[in-house]
Amino acid sequence: MARRAFLGALTGALLGAVAARAAYAAFTRRPPVGDVETWARTNHRGEPITLLEGPAFVAGAGAAAAVIPGLTGRARVAALLAAVGAGGLGAYDDLYGATSSKGFKGHLSALAKGEVTSGAVKILGIGATGLAAAAAVSRAPLDVAVNGTLIAGSANLANLFDLRPGRAVKVGLLAGAPLLAAALFRGDPVPATLAALPMGAAAALLPEDLGERAMLGDAGANALGALVGLTAAVTLGRPGRLAVLGTVVALTAASEKVSFTKVIAGNPVLHRFDMLGRRPVEQAPATR
């Protein structure tokens, strides 16, 4: 079992990485919707950047989940629901979202007043796809509820970190690493494969993110978070899942009051990790 778990993780990481890079190359030539300008945005420096990294992650992770050997049918369905569901709704918000309402609280407050924002559509849609993914891998109704909330909450939380180059990918890799280690330690091939697959896809796109040529956007960050949440759902026991869910809820609630960017900048350890591989603020952009 240990050998199968290791091979599953290795295959998942490699296939996820290859598929994500292939999707990014294809989408930069012919985007999935509109043209290249449709996906163009301005980053925190005021420089041009593309959101096509997000659809590339979704397509790469989704394609890998669809064909990789070693997953059960239910795990495969759950991974596709998590990646494509969260990623598709994130892409909708990337392309058509309005900024009049911000944050989880802002979108739900607008919904309570009868205003259906793109963010509210995304929140409710990711909640539904999260529950559907959880239902595919859970039996007891309580586990479906806990796992579905964990998947949807993780999708939303990952998106809150996508404000600086590479940050959301680093957080995803940092969150996925102990889950992968736990699956490998137990010799469980399905969680090991599920953990490694999005990590490989995200790591393969990290150079574009750190180089400030592309960013995950809502599509990629939501899909990455959902897949990490799904991995936690199939790897951890109920107490562990409740602890992770509590952390996700606490961080999401904190984001309504404090700026993660300011907190990270004010902590030397977090700041050093956040700047790892990034271009210094004063450095001129590379010619491309």
Q: What is the predicted pLDDT for the residue at 117?
A: 74
Q: Is position 266 within any domain?
A: no
Q: Is 142 a member of any domain? A: yes
Q: What's the pTM?
A: 0.92
152 occurs within a structural domain: yes
| Higher pLDDT among residues 69 and 25, named by residue | 25
Radius of gyration (C-alpha) of the chain in whole angstroms = 18
Mean pLDDT in residue range 93-116: 66
Is residue 158 domain-resident? yes
Q: Is the pLDDT of residue 233 over 70?
A: yes
Residue 118 has pLDDT above 90, yes or no: no
Residues 140-148 have a mean pLDDT of 97
**Helix (H/G/I), strand (E/B), else coil: 48:** strand
In a domain, 174, yes or no: yes
Whole-number pLDDT of residue 108: 61
Residues 126, 38: Cα–Cα separation, whole Å: 23
Q: Is the pLDDT of residue 23 over 50?
A: yes
Q: What percent of the chain has pLDDT over 90?
A: 82
Higher pLDDT, 164 or 286: 164
Residue 267 within any structural domain of the chain: no
What CA dihedral angle connects 245, 248, 253 and 257, to 10 degrees? 160
Mean pLDDT to the nearest integer, 240-261 = 95
What's the structural domain count of the chain? Answer: 1
3-state SS of 185-227? Answer: HHCCHHHHHHHHHHHHHHHHHHHHHHCCCECCHHHHHHHHHHH
pLDDT value at residue 288: 36
Q: Which two tokens stand for residue 132?
A: 């559907």
pLDDT(228) > 70: yes
**What 3-state class would DSSP assign to 50?**
strand
Q: Considering the domain boundaries, does residue 132 fall inside one? A: yes
Is the per-residue pLDDT at 61 higher than 60?
yes
Whether pLDDT at 284 is above 50: no
**pLDDT at position 287, please?**
42
pLDDT of 123: 86
> For residue 262, is it within any domain?
no
| Size (the chain), residues | 288
Q: Is residue 96's pLDDT more than 70? A: yes
Match 């700047």 to its residue by tokens. Answer: 275
Q: Which residue has the higher pLDDT, 91 or 114?
A: 91
Q: Is 117 in contact with 101 (CB distance < 8 Å)?
A: yes
Query: From residue 104, how far is each of 57, 154, 156, 166, 242 by CA, in Å?
Result: 24, 13, 9, 23, 21
Domain span at 94: 2-256
Q: What does the mean pLDDT of the chain come to? A: 91
Quick: pLDDT tens for 119-132.
778 888 999 999 99
Distances (CA, A) of 10 to 126, 208, 220, 224: 29, 22, 22, 18
Q: Give CA–CA dist 231/277, Å, rounded.
A: 27
